[in-house]
């Protein structure tokens, strides 16, 4: 019996590559055909308060790069770059956002763990809670952030870790996803240990209440970390 080995395991087991409905939604967001996400609006307002014109912004886990529209509609003059582990999202963003003035090379197909570089400001929303744990990817982000990190994740007092089947994927796809809520004291201490002062902001969308996503509670919280 022959043995088949490939390097495509991450994509094969990624829920993000197996939802045509989500792919279409992300395409429409890249075309600026949908209502702005509340979390994107809030992140843009937070960045507007701390960023200076011409500074660089890394959007980690950018999807199709639709956060670029949140900057554009507010005339926030930031040098936008995005990375995402889902190749199809990056391909869509490169194609669709070019019409709005974003050069395709500003979006890169990269996992956070594989990223190496630096930016004045780093944004990461709704990503780390779907990974096995936050330590390694968050370390990449805090080391990359010269001035600030804006983070939106599921955070509460006392951590919870689950690995559950996603029932919202394409027909015939049977995959699981991490849905974690990280302990507030743990993640604050981790970021502080890399030389940042951290503030919390109540999430506009959920108002501090758990929100069900694919049937499981998420405790959305914004953290604004500025380098000391």
Q: Tens digits of per-residue pLDDT, 41-60?
A: 999 999 999 999 999 999 99
- In angstroms, the first-to-last Cα distance of the chain is 59
Structural domain of residue 202, as residue ranges? 9-227
Within a domain: residue 4? Answer: no
CA atoms of 69 and 144, how far apart (whole Å) = 23
pLDDT in tens, 67-81: 999 999 999 999 999
Average pLDDT over residues 32-47: 98
In this structure, what CATH number is given to the domain that contains residue 37? 3.40.50.150
Residues sharing a CB contact under 8 Å with residue 43, sequence separation 6 or more, in sequence order: 67, 70, 123, 125, 150, 152, 222
The confidence score (pLDDT) of residue 213 equals 92
2 belongs to a structural domain: no
Structurally, the chain folds into a number of domains equal to 1
SS3 of 130-154: HCCCCHHHHHHHHHHEEEEEEEEEE
- pLDDT confidence of 176, banded at 50, 70, 90? very high
User: Is 3 a domain residue?
Assistant: no
* pLDDT over threshold 80, residue 1: no
Phi then psi for residue 188, to 5 deg, are: -65, -45
């Amino acid at each position: 019996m022959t043995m088949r080995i490939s390097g495509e395991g991450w994509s094969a087991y990624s829920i993000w590559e197996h939802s045509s409905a989500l792919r279409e939604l992300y395409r429409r967001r890249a075309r600026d055909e949908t209502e702005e996400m509340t979390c994107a609006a809030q992140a843009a307002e937070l960045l507007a308060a701390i960023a200076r014109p011409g500074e660089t912004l890394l959007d980690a886990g950018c999807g199709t790069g639709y956060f670029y529209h949140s900057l554009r509609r507010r005339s926030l003059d930031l040098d936008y770059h995005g990375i995402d582990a889902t190749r199809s999202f990056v391909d869509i963003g490169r194609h669709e956002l070019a019409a709005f003035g974003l050069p395709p090379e500003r979006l890169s197909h990269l996992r956070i763990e594989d990223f190496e570089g630096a930016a004045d400001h780093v944004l990461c929303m709704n990503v780390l809670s779907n990974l096995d744990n936050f330590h390694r990817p968050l370390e990449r982000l805090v080391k990359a952030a010269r001035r600030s990190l804006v983070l939106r994740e599921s955070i509460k007092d006392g951590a919870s870790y689950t690995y559950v089947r996603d029932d919202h994927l394409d027909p015939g796809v049977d995959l699981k996803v991490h849905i974690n809520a990280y302990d507030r004291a743990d993640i604050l201490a981790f970021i502080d240990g890399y030389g940042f002062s951290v503030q919390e902001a109540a999430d506009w969308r959920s108002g501090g209440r758990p929100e069900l996503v694919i049937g499981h509670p998420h405790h959305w919280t914004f953290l604004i970390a500025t380098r000391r």
